[in-house]
Amino acid sequence: MGIEVLNKHITAEGMIGESYFDKIKLVIWDMDETFWKGTLSEGDISCPEENILLVKLLTANGIINSISSKNDASSVMNKLEDLESGLSEYFVFNNINWDEKGSQIADKLSRMKLRAENTLFIDDNHRNLEEAVYANPGLFTGGPEIVLELQKYIVEVIEKNGSAKDPENTRLAHYHMLEEKDEAKKEYSSNEQFLYDSQIVVDINFDCMPQLDRILELVERTNQLNYTKHRSSKNELEKAILNDWNRCAYVSVKDKFGDYGIVGFFCYNRFEKKMVHFLFSCRVMGMGIEQYVYSRMNYPYVDIVEPVAVKLEVDKTVDWISEDYNKTVSEQLSDRINNRVRILLKGPCDLSAIEQYLIGGAVTGEFNFVNTDGYITTGQNHSVHIFEGANVPEEELRLMLADAPFLRHEDFDTIMFKKEYQIVCYSLLPDCHAGLYQHKESGLYASFGSVNFDLTDQRNWGGYIDGSIPNHFYPFSEQTCRKFSENWEFIGTTPDDMLLFNLEYMYENALGNPTFIFLLGSEMEYEGDNPEFANHAQRHKRVNELIKQFASDKHRIKIVNLSDYIHSQDDYEDGINHFSRRVYYDLATKVVEYINEKVSKG
């Protein structure tokens, strides 16, 4: 027990250069000889004005204050009012009785649905601190000497942010509401009946950009009901919300006790078919909100990162919650989004690397990704797949995929023909790199891996099976390779006439008549040892000339030739398709130039 206490006990010296306070959501105060000087039951006490101010500053920054004191409850609350009118209202879920401090705090955290890891307990009695940690592992503790450091910390936070985080004390108001609700719940013998009588109403709102700051706060601070534990910066969140493949919404909740405000957020990637974010504030724990939204979304795939306080259950419904359909905003982007230039980036890692440099646009990316089965999906950026995905009947596509188990429907899906874009930035690298195969029965085509490793050649099977040949992490077996070879014929890379046909189709049928920016491959051969990308330079040179000629009479096509940015072998990373940061920056600069040219012309 002593080691646990020492590890979590904060001293004034220990706080210098540390960030313990960043984790704190609740400060629990002992009263006698801690919040004030003296013992209330023995006579007059005096309270430093700094302590009163600190409670107010903590509250204004969303940190809740509570009392754990061996005392008479009415005497303590009356004394707080004597010190300053309204001061007692700054403290919630108080435990003022003669119970041991450990059990007091355990009861408090359970009722408030908070964790010991986010709680600081301040007491002058070291035995109380030890006992509190023993009963609440992970609890932060400190003596009265830590108050000065806490004051410095909260002032620095306010100065850094330019203002208090919660000047209206909304979080305190929520906990007063939870306290009222907690008292009302005691009158019910059945928790389920209490939930039914609470009249819980959920509002799922897809217009996320106006609430970006609140969503960011949830993403940064939510733990117990954060199912993916994915932390995103404000810029990353903004890009996720603006990406058309993502279905993002924030969740607001109210019941007969009051309005809880925005308490949840989810971001579902419809391309990868999984949740990127799925999280809810602990203040609604026990209400069933997370299960209601999960069922409302039809039980999507969530890669849950433990620990989580409440398990999600497939096929379970929550019928004590209703939804405010009249207030729910349809899945339309806000004016802020509609005013941005809409950009689709489509290609392998070369385009995902330049995305970070494109600031100010509504950017949607279609890049290689790890699918829910654990292997990599890349085919969605091959021109053959783009054409077939838009034109081949679903049943024919399904039958073809049955003979290529390492491909998925997502390999043939794109948003290019579903949403309007002003810019489509498209890489020709997949058509120059990937092996193309034709199905012997249907005549349809599919791409996979590198053209340098024919999957129908038995000599390559061992490499695909043991991973010495890049296999996108699919678990190949000899049976898989043999069956594929029986049903498919190796073509090589995309034939010139087929490539031009596919590009013409994209140019004529992409919604919104966008400007296309074609990224062409480097014509300088990589001299390192990487068989996957060997002998690509000559192929790039031939295709590049083909594309330049194709684009010569089309005013909506711009060309970016990677060869213009490759000066030496130092500009490559590990192959002809992977580049240094400087190259990606130069590429992004040219792409932005073309985007701005498009915007200026309207």
Query: Per-residue pLDDT tens for 390-436?
Result: 999 999 999 999 999 999 999 999 999 999 999 999 999 999 999 99
Residue with tokens 């802020």: 336
- Angstrom distances, CA of residue 184 to CA of 66, 93, 114, 178, 180: 20, 14, 20, 10, 6
How far apart (Å, rounded) are the C-alpha atoms in residues 244 and 234? 18
CA torsion angle 360 411 426 515 (round to 10): -70
- Angstrom distances, CA of residue 81 to CA of 84, 85, 170, 263, 529: 5, 5, 21, 32, 77
How far apart (Å, rounded) are the C-alpha atoms in residues 19 and 62? 17
How far apart (Å, rounded) are the C-alpha atoms in residues 401 and 392? 12
Closest CA to 262 of 292, 283, 233: 283
pLDDT value at residue 126: 93
What pLDDT digit, counting tens, does each position of 281-336 carry?
A: 988 999 999 999 999 998 999 999 999 999 999 989 899 999 875 444 444 444 44
pLDDT value at residue 525: 95
CA torsion angle 173 178 183 189 (round to 10): 160
Closest CA to 431 of 493, 368, 516: 493
What pLDDT digit, counting tens, does each position of 224-258 carry?
A: 999 999 999 999 999 999 999 999 999 999 999 99
Task: Locate 123 and state its tokens.
Answer: 């007491």
Element (H, E) at 68: strand 64-70
Residue 154 C-beta-side C-alpha neighbours within 13 Å: 25
pLDDT band at 356 (very low <50, low <70, confident <90, very high): confident
Q: Which residues of 238-270 are buried (b: 16+ CB within 10 A; e: fewer)?
A: bbbbbbbbbbbbbbbbbbebeebbbbbbbbbbe
Angle (nearest 5°) at CA 7 between 5 and 8: 70
What mean pLDDT is predicted for residues 63-88?
Answer: 96
What value does the mean pLDDT of the chain take?
Answer: 91
Residue 133 C-beta-side C-alpha neighbours within 13 Å: 23
Residue 14 has pLDDT above 50, yes or no: no
How far apart (Å, rounded) are the C-alpha atoms in residues 189 and 246? 42
pTM for the structure as a whole: 0.75
pLDDT value at residue 331: 43
Task: Locate 68 and state its tokens.
Answer: 């754990």
The dihedral through the CA atoms of 593, 595, 598, 599 has a sign that is negative
339 class by beta-carbon count within 10 Å (0-12 exposed, 13-18 middle, 19+ buried):
exposed
